[in-house]
Amino acid sequence: MAFVKTHERTKERFSLLLLDLEEYYFEQHTAYHVESSSKKERKIRGSLKVCSRSVIFDPDGLTEPIIKIPLRDCKKIEFVEKESNPFNKPRPPAICISCEQVIYIKESNVIAPYRNERGIMEITFQLDVWSKTEDVVQTLLQLHRASCLEKLGDQTAMVAANLQSRLARTSFDKNCFQNLAENPHMECAVEMVMPLVSNPGHVCVTNENLYFQPLNGYPEHVIQIKLHRVRRIYKRRHGLRPLGLEVFCTENDFCSDIYLKFYNPADRDDIYYYIATFLENHMTEHTAESYMLQWQRGHLSNYQYLLHLNNLADRSCNDLSQYPVFPWVIADYSSTQLDMTNAAIFRDLSKPVGALNKERLDRLLARYKGMPEPRFLYGSHYSSPGYVLFYLVRVAPEHMLCLQNGRYDNADRMFNSIRETWKNCLEGATDFKELIPEFYGSDCSFLENRLSLDLGKKQNGHLVGDVILPPWASDASDFLQKHKAALESQYVSEHLHEWIDLVFGYKQKGSEAVAAHNVFHPLTYEGSIDCDSIEDPDERIAMLTQILEFGQTPTQLFTSPHPQRITPRFHNITRSPSINSPVSEMSPASQTEDSSFEDLTEESRKLAWANMSNLTLISSHKIHKEAVTGIAVTQDGAAVFSTSQDSTLKMYSKELKEFQRSMSFSNMALSSCLMLADGKTVVCSSWDNNVYFYSIPFGRRHDTLMGHDDAVSEMCWSDDRLYTASWDSTVKVWQCASDGSSSHKRTQFELLAELEHDSGVNTIGLNPAGTLLVSGCKDGTITIWDTSSYEVLQQVPCHTGTIHHTAFSPDSRHVLSVGADSCMKVIDVQTGMMISNVNTEEEQRCFCWDGNSVLCGGQSGDLLLWDLLSSTVTKRIPAHSGAVTAMWMNDLCTTVITGGEDKQMILWKLLS
């Protein structure tokens, strides 16, 4: 748990949480608190902490209370010289403070609300090192003057000047390097950020380590992180400015190893790019789209995906104003049993919490309509420091005391019951909060009062103890287990994208947010106000404080609808497929059970792709005089046909291992070929604007389709329909019917549709069911068409140059394209969102893919096996001496044939 982790570095009773918000701890000195009475003098040994707004004495004895003296309450701070009379008992110099208030903390070593004692008091401290006493007094007097300034802005400026002076007079101690041979890259002043507090010091990054050395030596002299252990690194906005950097040495934990706040963005960016460059071989920088692709395909759980989105959206467990936000997913906290096959037990994830109760929403809308601009529906947010600590008070009591000036909240307003909390979120006039990751974790301590804290007594006379759980949970561990199961359930998996649209996506702002009743106070949105432009320092600080304490909307990650998760084929909860959905025919509810043969085939394909790196060259043949442009194979695999820019169609016999036929239809290049379902006809497209039908049994051309006004670039075939793409900016759909049973008889062509584009069409592809068509143009645009209505479903400006090849994934959810811009892009069919953009270093000309892995033919002539989820090349296989220009793969994905600019055709076999 985040709050436990930050305390693991120190066993001290003292904590930065004893300071006021925005206060700094500067230095410490071994000292004695001198208590004088009429009878005798008592000395209590401990540590005197000099802070920007207070003096804190932390006694060595655990039974003694920690003493905090606010500097603003001090009337006099004096240096009392040592006793110089040789006849009297020697007395060391002392610091004498006259004050109106003393705060006592952790009395008897118990975490409890602070005890404030008011009235004029004299407190005396003696330092272990006498010579430092006068310097400490001068420091306290300077800080006291800052605390007594009327304007908060002036106080802040004076303290900041003191801090910067201290940082400038010190530097990172290079004796702390783990290795004498380490090469330092840079060092600068920073602050280490923890929940509610920050600690100034110096950061130093070398070729091996990242170091942070606190100015005050707390919680330890130096913190070290080995660069090779780092797995993720994020830039953060802190206090609405681009100054934060957070480093993780874990993959799926939401607790970072260190969070640093820099004093200027340039220093932050320098260290970020240095570490990111170092880590190129150790980690992959993920985007929201790459995580989305992993989640869609089941490689990330719902929990992991939400953690990654929170991280990318600047949410951090070290910043309570931007703590990770998770949704309520269950709406039933009163039943004795939790039936997760019943959709009624789940919360409607398409609505924000404030819109779940229609009566309350109607009242809010009425107020909204009468409100002057800028209008908002909800006066409070779904995540704020107060809400986070509301949930975590039992494991983070000191944080709550820090946030609320040494007090807990009213006992009846505390987190007493999950059912009551949910009820208040549904009905309360100002309560719209969501949950935090701990509700879906494995540590249930935040639900139990294991520290035996005195959290107060409710009006009904009951003490605040453990959180009251729903009847369906036997204990706290059982609650978390079922809650986690609900988050990963079929229903939530099918609807989580709707909640993501609200919190991280396109319904977060603007007209879509208004339509979704998802409008919060303007101050909660990034960029709503520029605090640096406010000239009055007091007004600027007040505005910043309000923003940080009120809650902040996450950084927007998606600007178009988030695609739905690809859910398992068989399940108990079904949803009605959308009539307008372009992939509604692919929904799990409408699919029938596969035959055992198809299951076996699918299993074989998965196994084949898992072993695709074992692809082995069987034979190569130089058969053409120019680049190979297309490959087609007969159903029995006995004959391979290929087209080329040399204008010929050639036939190679795998059995005889020789070429048997060579046909030429015109003197212009042939651009592609395909085999018709009858196995007797090969169709070839040509740069002469025509399509040629070649009869295999009769060994001659038996028909010509003069279909376009420019070169025909590629073709597809499905259910007696031929789709032809052309550089004349059209794709034409033809109904092809033979007027006789013999394949040498002429074919009748009926033009069914002409699909217009803005530039020449270079490539087309059908999904396996033949219900969707994708076209890729010379201007880099991808268009997805419905083949029943010939309507455009999606049109996405995808590449900056010609698209070489595009194809659907086997499940029809995604389209992959490669182009002259050396990029590989994945588009979600349902939403048109680009969910992956991979820079491939070299142009990829053609490919085969299974939705996760891609076998590409590159400009260099090599075959590259890409893992789309990590955006990395897992295998490079030497193949052609020029660009790979054509590729064919059999249904079981065990045989591959490639053609290249080197005029060769290569046969490959997948060895188990």
Domains of the chain: which residue ranges? Answer: 2-167, 170-285, 328-375+411-550, 627-847
- Contacts of residue 234, defined as CB under 8 A and 6 or more positions apart, other chains included, come to 245, 246, 248, 311, 312, 314
Decide the pairing of beta strands 25-36 and 54-59. unpaired
671, 712 in Cβ contact below 8 A? yes
Regarding the domain delimited by 170-285, which CATH topology (the fold level of the hierarchy) does it fall under? PH-domain like (2.30.29)
Alpha-carbon distance of 343 to 335, in angstroms, equals 14
CATH of domain 2-167: 2.30.29.30
Rounded-to-integer distance, Cα 177 and Cα 183, Å: 10
What pLDDT score does 762 carry?
97
Alpha-carbon span 153 to 168, nearest angstrom: 22
Strand pairing of 197-206 and 66-70? unpaired
Alpha helices in 434-489 (DSSP H): 476-487
H or E stretch covering 549: helix 537-550
Q: How many CB atoms lie within 10 A of CB 452?
A: 9
Interatomic CA distance for residues 47 and 56, integer angstroms? 8
Residue 60 one-letter amino acid:
D
CA dihedral of residues 312, 314, 319, 324 (deg, nearest 10): -50
3-state secondary structure of 285: coil
Q: Under DSSP, is residue 91 helix (H, G, I), strand (E, B) or coil?
A: coil
**With a cut of 50, which residues of the chain have pLDDT below it?**
6-9, 569-598, 740-744
| SS3 category, 262 | strand
How is domain 328-375+411-550 classified at the architecture level of CATH? Orthogonal Bundle (1.10)
What single-letter amino acid sits at 599?
D
Q: Is 77 helix (H, G, I), strand (E, B) or coil?
A: strand
Rounded Cα–Cα distance for residues 910 and 896 (Å): 8
Q: How far apart are CA 464 and CA 451, in angstroms?
A: 12
Residue with tokens 């404080």: 545
Q: If residue 35 lies in a helix (H) or strand (E), which one and from where to where? A: strand 25-36
Rg of the chain on CA atoms, in Å: 35
Q: Where are the alpha helices (DSSP H) in 279-330?
A: 288-296, 302-312
The 10 Å Cβ neighbour count of residue 205 is 21
CA–CA gap between residue 495 and residue 487 (Å, rounded): 11
Residue 104 phi, psi dihedral angles, 5° rounding: -105, 125
Contact 621, 899 (CB under 8 A): no
Whether the Cβ atoms of residue 261 and residue 331 lie closer than 8 Å to each other: no
Can you tell me whether residue 901 is helix, strand or coil? coil
Give the span between the Cα atoms of 634 and 642, in whole angstroms: 12
- Helix then strand count (H, E) for the chain reads 15, 42
E strand intervals along 781-903: 781-786, 792-797, 803-808, 814-819, 823-828, 834-839, 844-849, 853-858, 863-867, 872-877, 884-889, 895-900
| Burial group, residue 666, by CB count within 10 angstroms (0-12, 13-18, 19+) | middle
Q: Indicate the DSSP class of residue 372.
A: P
Cβ contacts of 460-467, under 8 Å, gap ≥ 24: 464/411, 464/414, 464/416, 467/394, 467/415, 467/416, 467/417, 467/418
Token output for 672: 């592609």
Q: Beta strands 844-849 and 853-858: pairing type?
A: antiparallel
Residues 6+ apart with CB under 8 A from 527: none
pLDDT at residue 363 in the model: 94
Helical ranges in 8-54 per DSSP H: none
Question: In degrees rounded to 5, what are phi and psi of residue 322?
Answer: -135, 45
* Nearest of 220, 494, 491 to residue 331 by alpha carbon: 491
Residue (of 876, 810, 880, 804) closest to 847 by Cα position: 804
Q: Which two tokens stand for residue 475?
A: 């204990």
- Report how far residue 817's alpha carbon sits from residue 808's, in angstroms, rounded to the nearest whole number: 9
Question: Distance between CA atoms of 6 and 10, rounded to whole angstroms?
Answer: 9
- What pLDDT does 338 receive? 94
Cα-flanking dihedrals φ and ψ of residue 785, to 5°? -115, 150
The residue written with tokens 């068509």 in the block is: 773
Which residues have C-beta within 8 Å of that of residue 608, sequence separation ≥ 6?
892, 893, 894, 910
| pLDDT computed for residue 81 by the predictor | 84
End-to-end CA distance of the chain: 45
Treating both helix axes as pointing N-terminal to C-terminal, what angle do 302-312 and 490-503 enclose, rounded to 10 degrees?
10
Interatomic CA distance for residues 230 and 272, integer angstroms: 12
In degrees, rounded to 5, the angle at the alpha carbon of residue 390 between the alpha carbons of residues 384 and 393 is 125
Q: Tally Cβ neighbours within 10 Å of residue 668.
A: 15
Instruction: Decide the pairing of beta strands 209-214 and 223-226.
Output: antiparallel
Assigned token pair, 634: 């007969």
Q: What is the DSSP letter of 465?
A: -
- 634-652 burial: b if 16+ Cβ within 10 Å, else e: beeeebbbbbbbbbbbbbb
pLDDT of residue 251: 77
| CA dihedral sign, ordered 308, 311, 315, 319 | positive
pTM, full prediction: 0.79
> What sign has the CA pseudo-torsion 879, 881, 883, 885?
negative
d(CA 856, CA 887): 9
Of 412, 476, 469, nearest to 446 by C-alpha is 476
In this structure, which CATH number among 2.120.10.30, 1.10.10.10, 2.130.10.10, 3.40.50.300 belongs to the domain 627-847? 2.130.10.10
Q: At CA 871, angle to CA 870 and CA 874, rounded to 5?
A: 85
Residue 62 CA neighbour count, 13 Å, CB half? 6
- In the chain, the largest separation of any two C-alpha atoms, in whole Å, equals 133
C-alpha–C-alpha distance, residues 251 and 235, integer Å: 16
